[in-house]
Amino acid sequence: MTDAGRLALVSVSAEPLDLAAHEAAVTDRRAGAVVSFQGVVRDHDHGRAVTGLEYEGHPSAEQVLREVAAEVAADPAVYGVAVSHRLGVLAIGEVALVAAVSTAHRAAAFAACARLVDEAKARLPIWKRQVFADGTEEWVNCP
């Protein structure tokens, strides 16, 4: 049994996100797999053209993200966890979420990264305003 994985990098920020930095942060000599994910702003949602997004976060967002990351890192198969979410106005093609996980084997890394992303999306107090091509807008994940 190994020690719990380390939280290599966790942030909620208006700064652009760097996938390579997240991958490098989870590097471990024991790791045979590093799986990463980028959530990228797309130009459509539910059949409607999207021109941009804005993310707003509650002051507790980074702490919640840290808790999610710690839960994933507690898996003895996980060596390192890095995850960040962007705030502010984002254009089509910009990165909104980055996650990376290292483990000894690929199946565990894929599963851990999927869990990290799914839990972050489900629990983060971050709200998204979508701006549509027709000039309308919609807030998503708002209480």
In terms of phi and psi (left: phi > 0; alpha: psi -120 to 50; beta: otherwise), the region of 135 is left
Mean pLDDT over each residue of the chain, to the nearest integer: 94
What is the pLDDT at residue 111? 98
Please determine, for residue 101, whether its predicted confidence score (pLDDT) is greater than 70.
Answer: yes
Closest CA to 108 of 82, 84, 66, 75: 75
Res. 2 pLDDT band, cuts 50 70 90? very low
Query: What digits encode the pLDDT tens for the residues 7-23?
Result: 889 999 999 999 999 99
Phi, psi of 61 (to 5 degrees): -55, -45
Give bridge partners of residue 140 from the DSSP assignment: 128
Is pLDDT above 60 for 3?
Answer: no
Side-chain half-sphere CA neighbours of 4 within 13 A: 10
Torsion angle (degrees, nearest 10) of CA 87, 89, 93, 98: 0
How is residue 110 written in tokens?
């894929």
Handedness of CA 49, 52, 58, 64 (dihedral sign): positive
| pLDDT tens-digit readout, 41-84 | 999 999 999 999 999 999 999 999 999 999 999 999 999 999 99
Query: Is the pLDDT score of 1 beyond 60?
Result: no
